[in-house]
Amino acid sequence: MTAVQEERTTDDLRALAERAGRELEDASALEILRWAAETFGDRFCVTSSMEDAVVAHLASRALPGVDVVFLDTGYHFPETIGTRDAVAAVMDVNVITLTPRRTVAEQDAEHGPRLHDRDPDLCCALRKVKPLEEGLKGYQAWATGLRRDESETRANTPVVGWDEKRGKVKISPIAKWSQEDVQTYVTEHGVLTNPLLMDGYASVGCAPCTRRVLEGEDARAGRWAGRSKTECGLHG
Ligand code: SF4
């Protein structure tokens, strides 16, 4: 950590994010991540749902050994946990697994079973939003794999923006990429992907809240299907 990184105030970080958002709009994903590596050093991390390891791979090229933060909600598909373990084993990254304060069994005892069916917002708050908030405390900036083409709610995602809720710079280096761009990168670099993507799933989240997508549906249609909920609260 450099002295400059330690001294940055929230206002400094906000101004930095807003300026970079404008200046890096036309930069490549790797250029954006190189800027993040130079600007934040080890106060920068990537978050990954382990749907694929594209952003983690890009970030490891910009900052070898970069922290890759994974939220283990206790409800993941075994394939997702396997993808995380494979990423940790073969890539030049430091995988950090965050867990909620309560196990699924403890949550069931407190709130009743299948909270995800009755109050998914509360379940996501307890198992995703809160652990991430705590896990990101030491960082000034975090990168995500959000893409504008994934859904209407993500259509205006900036490549670098300000995360008001957490007081951090939020970087979405592949915001402008299409699914085809992702596939091309995966093929060219042999990037690990979640096996469920080959089994009809277009977006992979917790098992109880994820189904396969149907022809013509957008990539996130299989998440909380049948509910008005479209996001878990990590990106709102
Ligand atoms: S996605 Fe579903 S199971 Fe996972 S934390 Fe949210 S409500 Fe709970």
How far apart are the C-alpha atoms of 186 and 152, rounded to whole Å? 24
The helix or strand, by DSSP H or E, that contains position 95, with its residue range, turns out to be: strand 93-98
**Which atom of ligand 1 has the smallest separation from the CA of 126?**
5
**Which atom of ligand 1 has the smallest separation from the CA of 223?**
1
Closest Cα to atom 4 of ligand 1: 206
The burial class, CB within 10 Å (0-12 / 13-18 / 19+), for 97 is: middle
Closest Cα to atom 5 of ligand 1: 124
Closest Cα to atom 1 of ligand 1: 206
How far apart are the C-alpha atoms of 93 and 95, rounded to whole Å? 6
* Diameter over CA atoms, the chain: 52
- Does the annotation list 45 as a binding residue? no
What confidence score (pLDDT) does residue 167 get? 95
- Does the annotation list 124 as a binding residue? yes
Task: Give the binding-site residues of ligand 1, using a 6 Å CB cut-off.
Answer: 73, 75, 116, 120, 123-124, 127-128, 205-206, 208-209, 232
The per-residue pLDDT string of the chain (236 residues; one tens digit each, 9 = 90 and over) reads: 444 455 799 999 999 999 999 999 999 999 999 999 999 999 999 999 999 999 999 999 999 999 999 999 999 999 999 999 999 999 999 999 999 999 999 999 999 999 999 999 999 999 999 999 999 999 999 999 999 998 888 999 999 999 999 999 999 999 999 999 999 999 999 999 999 999 999 889 999 999 998 888 877 777 767 676 677 677 76
Distance 211 CA to ligand 1 centre (A): 13
- Does the annotation list 206 as a binding residue? yes
CATH architecture of 3-198: 3-Layer(aba) Sandwich (3.40)
What confidence score (pLDDT) does residue 202 get? 87
45 carries an active-site annotation: no
**Which atom of ligand 1 has the smallest separation from the CA of 206?**
4
Distance 212 CA to ligand 1 centre (A): 16
Residue from 211, 232, 233, 236 carrying the catalytic annotation: 232
| Contact present, 220 and 232 (Cβ < 8 Å) | no
Entry pTM: 0.92
**Which atom of ligand 1 has the smallest separation from the CA of 209?**
2
Tokens of 235: 């990106």
- Does the annotation list 209 as a binding residue? yes
Distance 109 CA to ligand 1 centre (A): 17
What are the residue ranges spanned by the domains of the chain? 3-198
- Chain centroid to CA 107: how far? 24
What confidence score (pLDDT) does residue 225 get? 75
